């Protein structure tokens, strides 16, 4: 195959047999080809001599890079060898024509070792890499290349272009895709520069031209000798012009059979002789069917050989394309599995749609595909919470480490100080650098290579993840030196100085640890929860005292969980030693574990409130504030489980604490006892209590768990404003783990106030955060509250949300979520005027023996269930339900609770005057609740229309239409609009295909005809329209007369287009 027995024999015998007799280039080829030939199954040609021209022109397995072998098709799950022509097969010695001892489905791993030994794993010398990352956002570039290649193939008008891009911008991957697309029409030749061969003359030219060696017999003897020198078979050419001319002659001959596409990757790493020859060739392709593309790094000192050639810059990906790339990578990355460097793992997993997670990677990568792929693959494999915590992969280190190593040492030190700086301010970096004897001028090389940019007083890395690469590439001693210099430069900012002191400390020191921990609160308020985490975590490592270290670890785990880093929080929690003999420390640890267990719906959470109660009792006298926090967490668990007895006990414990009489915790205890006793009065006091507890969250201990009160039904507008302020503060602090605890009550209060769109937006944000941090209980609660709004808007979306909520929650200790889920399903059926489907869902909430029973939710859903019973004609059940609801005590301080109950009573009122009075009062009480007010207006409009008080009915129906339109509650809007039409306000529009007789139907007749055409029976139609069956029969007789039909069957077959 190779034409000279020594090289063939060398390949067959092994890499060490004839190496002393070969040139350096031949030694490299021999080593590589031997490894590839023994790893690859080489099969003889098929009996029919099936052979593809491109394999003869470019023998796949003969390339000097093993990535070429990915071209073979698969046979029964095993990768077959490439096709080999008969002529090529006959040139292979018998001892090489053997099957590999390695099974063909294992050679991927063997080639990975070859890649590691010989150079880049993503070389262009073969087909695209086995785990090629997806190509995203390069459509415009591919279209331009397609036009360029079309011109080359169709008109024999070749040319060359230099594609410049930043490291990791996807130059190699783009060239792979270009080669793949051109393969059916072009003979594709590839070469790639590598540092290992930069000093070997003609190494790159050898890679490119070796597949064309079978054309040598058509060249003059002089040029054959020159090219044999290029191929390492004789002395290399000496004249500068001789080798380029011989290469051009060979390409001209090869182009006679098919157009050529030459792809030169990493041209800045090619040896000087090859680059000289290729540049010579690139300027002489105007009238040849040969296209050449160079890929090189931008901002590199441009080789004079490439000056004057057309250049195209490969821009960073847009934010949208970056997110799409990340989503595609994470959709293929298995969790908790090793990820191959430089590609997408082969085993798929369910798509991962975590928007904040994806946004974080997109921000760190700044449109750099390599960084985005590596971070997405690492985070998708699990074990990390945040992109900034991931150490650079070997591929990133190799790519960007080379750039850093080329910088002067003073510049690398200045970049390390900038990377260690907790802010991007240039002044602090230069001030710290001056203590090490570095000046502003040391930054110039980094600016020229575009690794760092200065904008005003801000120094930033390009891309941002380069900061992590710079920091991680430094030694521990170098990092501590940089932090020590920064600690001196930030002496005027105590919270920043604390951070750098923590990182600069060399050994445990209690005094330094205490000093560091004292700055955690300021760090949280100024720089956010993550900064406080770093401070207290470092303080824990510097402390030798077990109790002090446990306290620091508890604070660090608390910060980690509040910052939305659950994996980090669990790792820190496991390091906490059991603090025997210290009740306060033990109680704090239990508070941490109890809150995390509750939010994550962990097993045993239902009984966890007992542990919290015990800890609260132990610390009540010495630490009443800590005891209050424990009791608040226990109250949240008891409310979710619906345990009245536990609520009463927790409320009593809160009242017994040695706190001021007006302390919010004691007032909350009184509210809990009232709720346990079915007393929902004094709602204004509950609002003030909630606002007070939330203020303690902002002004309390720096890293302790916030005193976050749970949502109770008596909360109103005052509590909503307090929760909204808390959510804003938690966002500013980066407390993404705590945010759902405050946002869940806010979503409920927004829903009550008719801010459904705001609730949906906040719910989407919180849902993503809760899923990201593993807070299953919060995920379930958000979904059921969104489902309650969707029940009045989109029944299909409601069911999807409920199913997701039920998967996230656990029925034993989270009865509230299950009860609200069935409330949403019942309301969805009620919106569709289907009481028979709604009643079973409500029955599960009200039945004490059912797993979805919750005594508080049962009362809140009572008005809906009463309406269902009335619609179904079950007045006895409706009255009995209202009588049981009389056990609950209400007053004017909670009008949002009073209004629905008044509307429910109007449905069973014995006299129309009493029903009208109750509905008028319900409308007045529900003025802050648009949905409930709209329902009361609709009910009153129906009542007045039946009494023939059309003008008054229209006024209330118009108000109902306005309320439901603002809420986009389509099913309820349809009901109100139909009632308006029935009151004669609007006439149906005439639609195409409507028979002329149908235009004479009244609005009520059109509605009845539509229901009848859908197959509903008379009682079902009467139920939907709140009229009697005899009225339905009367209207149907009129419809049959006007449409000239005699039966319901004719109506079903008429395909009547009924337009409301």
Under 8 Å between Cβ of 538 and 503:
yes
What the block records as the tokens of 61 is: 């397995």
pLDDT exceeds 60 at position 605: no
Q: Cα–Cα distances in Å, from 163 out to 175, 183, 288, 345, 817? A: 10, 20, 21, 29, 57
**Which of these, 193, 190, 153, lies nearest to 175 by C-alpha position?**
190
Least confident of 336-350, 544-558, 946-960, 971-985: 336-350
Question: For residue 324, is it left (φ>0), alpha (ψ between -120 and 50) or beta?
Answer: alpha
pLDDT of residue 249: 92
List where CATH 1.10.10.10 sits in the chain.
996-1053
Residue whose pair of structure tokens reads 């990820």 in the numeric block: 339
What is the reported pTM? 0.60
pLDDT of residue 527: 62
What the block records as the tokens of 877 is: 């059940």
pLDDT category of residue 918 using cuts at 50, 70 and 90: very high
pLDDT of residue 390: 67
Under 8 Å between Cβ of 555 and 517:
yes
**Which of these, 343, 340, 377, lies nearest to 361 by C-alpha position?**
377
pLDDT of residue 455: 83
Q: What is the mean pLDDT of residues 302-323?
A: 84
DSSP three-state, residue 265: strand
Q: Which of residues 1001 and 627 earns the better pLDDT score?
A: 627
Under 8 Å between Cβ of 529 and 733:
yes
pLDDT of residue 488: 87
Q: Which of residues 957 and 405 earns the better pLDDT score?
A: 957
Q: Which residues 6+ apart lie within 8 Å of 994 measured at CB?
A: 1056, 1057, 1058, 1059
Residue 144 has a CB neighbour count (10 Å cut-off) of 12
pLDDT of residue 118: 30
For residues 297-306, one letter each, b for 16 or more C-beta atoms within 10 angstroms of the residue's C-beta and e for the rest, the string is bbeeebbebb
Q: What is the mean pLDDT of residues 839-864?
A: 90
For residues 608-635, one letter each, b for 16 or more C-beta atoms within 10 angstroms of the residue's C-beta and e for the rest, the string is bbebbbebbbbbbeebbbbbbbbbbbbb
pLDDT category of residue 600 using cuts at 50, 70 and 90: low
pLDDT exceeds 50 at position 481: yes
Q: Which residues 6+ apart lie within 8 Å of 1005 measured at CB?
A: 1035, 1038, 1039, 1042
Q: What is the pLDDT of residues 924-943, one digit of tens each?
A: 998 889 999 999 999 999 99
Partners of residue 821 on adjacent β-strands: none
Cis preceding-peptide flag for 463 (omega within 30 of 0): yes
Question: How large a percentage of the chain has pLDDT more than 70?
Answer: 76
Q: What CA–CA distance (Å, rounded) separates 837 from 712?
A: 29
Q: What is the mean pLDDT of residues 913-925?
A: 92
Q: What is the mean pLDDT of residues 129-158?
A: 80
List where CATH 1.25.40 sits in the chain.
894-982
Under 8 Å between Cβ of 627 and 657:
yes
Q: What is the pLDDT of residues 748-803, one digit of tens each?
A: 898 888 888 888 888 888 888 888 777 888 888 899 999 998 998 888 788 889 98
Element housing 1045 (H / E): none
Angle, helix 1003-1013 to helix 1018-1025, in steps of 10 degrees: 130
pLDDT of residue 1052: 63
What's the length of the chain?
Answer: 1060
Residue 841 has a CB neighbour count (10 Å cut-off) of 25
β-strands 187-192, 260-265: how paired? Answer: parallel
3-state secondary structure 973-986: HHHHHHHHHHCCCC
List the CATH code of the domain at 894-982. Answer: 1.25.40
pLDDT of residue 214: 87
Q: Which residues 6+ apart lie within 8 Å of 351 measured at CB?
A: 327, 330, 331
β-strands 74-75, 78-79: how paired? Answer: antiparallel
Express the helix, strand and coil content of the chain in percent, nearest 5 each: 65, 5, 30
Q: What is the pLDDT of residues 25-74, one digit of tens each?
A: 444 434 333 333 333 333 333 333 332 333 333 333 233 333 332 333 33
Q: What is the pLDDT of residues 372-409, one digit of tens each?
A: 888 877 765 555 555 556 677 778 877 787 778 888 89
Q: What is the pLDDT of residues 151-188, one digit of tens each?
A: 888 888 889 999 988 888 888 889 999 999 998 889 99
pLDDT of residue 626: 79
Element housing 209 (H / E): helix 203-209
pLDDT category of residue 19 using cuts at 50, 70 and 90: very low
Q: What is the pLDDT of residues 224-271, one digit of tens each?
A: 888 988 888 888 787 788 889 999 999 999 998 889 999 999 888 899
Q: What is the pLDDT of residues 79-95, one digit of tens each?
A: 333 333 333 334 444 43
pLDDT exceeds 50 at position 139: yes
CATH number for 139-188+207-314 (one of 3.40.50.300, 1.10.287.130, 3.40.50.1980, 2.30.30.100): it is 3.40.50.300
Q: What CA–CA distance (Å, rounded) separates 416 from 434?
A: 13
pLDDT of residue 329: 78
List the CATH code of the domain at 996-1053. Answer: 1.10.10.10
pLDDT exceeds 80 at position 96: no
Q: Which of residues 810 and 823 earns the better pLDDT score?
A: 823
Of the segments 91-100, 632-641, 919-928, which one has the largest average pLDDT value? 919-928
DSSP state of 133: P
**Mean pLDDT, rounded, of the chain:** 75
pLDDT category of residue 570 using cuts at 50, 70 and 90: confident
DSSP state of 960: H
Q: What is the mean pLDDT of residues 212-231?
A: 88
pLDDT of residue 263: 94
pLDDT of residue 940: 93
Q: Which of residues 548 and 208 earns the better pLDDT score?
A: 208
Q: What CA–CA distance (Å, rounded) separates 394 from 342?
A: 9
pLDDT exceeds 70 at position 10: no
Q: What is the mean pLDDT of residues 464-488?
A: 88
């Amino acid at each position: 195959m190779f034409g000279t027995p020594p090289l063939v024999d060398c390949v067959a015998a092994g890499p060490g047999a004839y190496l002393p007799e070969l040139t350096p280039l031949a030694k490299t080829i021999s080593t590589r080809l031997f490894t590839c030939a023994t790893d690859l199954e080489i099969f003889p040609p098929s009996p029919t001599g099936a052979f593809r021209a491109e394999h003869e022109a470019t023998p796949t397995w003969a390339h000097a890079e093993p990535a070429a072998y990915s071209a073979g098709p698969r046979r029964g799950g095993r990768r077959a060898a490439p096709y080999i022509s008969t002529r090529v097969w006959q040139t292979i010695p018998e001892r090489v024509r053997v099957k590999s001892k390695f099974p063909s489905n294992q050679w991927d791993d063997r080639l990975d070792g070859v890649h590691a030994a010989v150079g880049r794993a993503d070389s262009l010398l073969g087909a695209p890499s086995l785990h090629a990352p997806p190509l995203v956002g390069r459509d415009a570039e591919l279209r331009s290349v397609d036009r360029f290649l079309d011109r080359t193939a169709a008109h024999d008008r070749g040319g060359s272009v230099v594609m410049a891009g930043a490291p990791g911008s996807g130059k190699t991957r783009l060239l792979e895709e270009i080669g793949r697309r051109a393969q059916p029409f072009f003979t594709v030749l590839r070469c790639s520069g590598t540092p290992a061969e930069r000093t070997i003359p003609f190494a790159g030219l050898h890679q490119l031209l070796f597949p064309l060696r079978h054309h040598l017999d058509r060249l003059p003897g002089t040029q054959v000798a020159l090219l044999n020198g290029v191929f390492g078979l004789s002395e290399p050419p000496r004249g500068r012009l001789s080798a380029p001319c011989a290469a051009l002659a060979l390409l001209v001959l090869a182009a006679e059979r098919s157009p050529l596409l030459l792809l030169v990757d990493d041209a800045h790493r090619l040896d000087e002789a090859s680059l000289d020859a290729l540049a010579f060739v690139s300027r002489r392709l105007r009238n040849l069917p040969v296209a050449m593309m160079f890929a090189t790094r931008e901002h590199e000192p441009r080789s004079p050989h490439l000056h004057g050639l057309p250049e195209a810059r490969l821009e960073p990906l847009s934010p949208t394309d970056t997110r799409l790339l990340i989503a595609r990578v994470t959709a293929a990355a298995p969790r908790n599995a090793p990820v191959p460097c430089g590609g997408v793992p082969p085993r798929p997993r369910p798509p991962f749609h975590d928007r904040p997670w994806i946004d974080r990677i997109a921000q760190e990568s700044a449109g750099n595909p390599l960084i985005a792929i590596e971070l997405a693959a690492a985070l998708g494999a699990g074990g990390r919470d945040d992109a900034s915590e991931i150490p650079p992969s070997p591929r990133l280190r190799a790519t960007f480490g080379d750039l850093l190593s080329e910088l002067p040492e003073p510049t690398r030190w200045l970049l390390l100080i900038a990377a260690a700086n907790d802010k991007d301010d240039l002044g602090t970096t230069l001030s710290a650098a001056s203590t090490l004897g570095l000046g502003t001028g040391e930054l110039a090389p980094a600016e020229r290579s575009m690794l760092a940019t200065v904008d005003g007083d801000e120094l930033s890395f390009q891309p941002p993840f380069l900061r992590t690469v710079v920091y991680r590439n430094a030694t521990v001693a170098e990092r501590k030196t940089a932090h020590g210099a920064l600690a001196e430069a930030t002496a005027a900012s105590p919270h920043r100085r604390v951070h750098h002191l923590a990182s600069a400390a060399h050994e445990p020191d209690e005094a330094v640890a205490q000093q560091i921990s004292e700055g955690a609160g300021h760090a949280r308020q100024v720089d956010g929860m993550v900064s406080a985490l770093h401070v207290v975590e470092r303080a824990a490592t510097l402390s030798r005292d077990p109790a002090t270290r446990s306290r620091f670890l508890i604070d660090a785990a608390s910060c980690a969980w509040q910052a939305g880093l659950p994996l980090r929080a669990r790792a820190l929690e496991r390091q906490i030693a059991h603090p025997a003999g210290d009740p306060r420390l033990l109680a704090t640890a239990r508070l941490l574990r109890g809150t995390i267990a509750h939010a994550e719906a962990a097993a045993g959470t239902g009984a966890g409130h007992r542990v919290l109660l015990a800890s609260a009792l132990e610390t009540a006298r010495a630490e009443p504030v800590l005891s209050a926090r424990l009791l608040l967490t226990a109250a949240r668990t008891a409310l979710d489980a619906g345990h009245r007895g536990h609520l009463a006990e927790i409320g009593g414990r809160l009242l017994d604490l040695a706190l001021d009489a007006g302390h919010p915790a004691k007032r909350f205890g009184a509210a809990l006892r009232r709720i346990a006793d079915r007393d929902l009065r004094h709602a204004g006091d509950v609002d003030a209590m909630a606002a007070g507890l939330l203020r303690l969250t902002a002004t309390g201990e720096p890293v302790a768990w916030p005193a976050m009160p749970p949502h109770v039904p008596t909360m109103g507008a005052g509590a909503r404003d307090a929760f909204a302020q808390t959510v804003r503060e938690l966002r500013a602090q980066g407390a993404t783990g705590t945010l759902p605890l405050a946002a869940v009550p806010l979503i409920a209060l927004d829903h009550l106030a008719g801010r459904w769109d705001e609730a949906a937006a906040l719910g989407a944000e919180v849902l993503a955060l809760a899923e990201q941090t593993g807070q299953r209980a919060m995920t379930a609660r958000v979904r059921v509250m969104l489902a309650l709004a969707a029940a009045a808007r989109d029944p299909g979306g409601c069911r999807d949300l409920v199913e997701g909520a039920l998967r996230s929650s656990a029925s034993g200790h989270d009865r509230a979520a299950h009860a609200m889920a069935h409330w949403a399903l019942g309301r969805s059926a009620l919106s569709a005027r289907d009481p028979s489907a709604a009643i079973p869902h409500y029955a599960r909430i009200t039945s004490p023996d059912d797993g979805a029973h919750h005594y508080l939710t049962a009362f809140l859903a009572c008005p809906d269930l009463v309406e269902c019973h009335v619609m179904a004609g079950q007045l006895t059940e409706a009255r009995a339900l209202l009588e049981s609801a009389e056990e609950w005590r209400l007053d004017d301080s909670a009008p949002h609770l009073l209004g629905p109950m008044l509307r429910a009573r109007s449905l069973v009122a014995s006299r129309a005057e009493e029903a009208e009075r109750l509905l008028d009062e319900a409308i007045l009480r529900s003025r802050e609740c648009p949905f409930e007010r709209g329902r009361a207006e609709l009910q009153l409009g129906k009542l007045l229309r039946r009494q023939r008080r059309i003008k008054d009915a229209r006024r209330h129906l118009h108000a109902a239409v306005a309320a439901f339109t603002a809420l986009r509650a389509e099913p309820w809007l349809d009901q109100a609009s139909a009632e308006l039409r029935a009151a004669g306000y609007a006439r149906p529009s005439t639609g195409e295909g409507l028979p002329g007789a149908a235009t004479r139907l009244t609005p009520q007749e059109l509605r009845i005809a539509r229901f009848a055409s859908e197959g509903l029976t008379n009682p079902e139609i009467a139920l939907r329209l709140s009229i009697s069956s005899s009225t339905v029969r009367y209207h149907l007789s009129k419809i049959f007369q006007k449409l000239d039909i005699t039966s319901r069957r004719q109506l079903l077959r008429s395909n009547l287009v009924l337009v409301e």
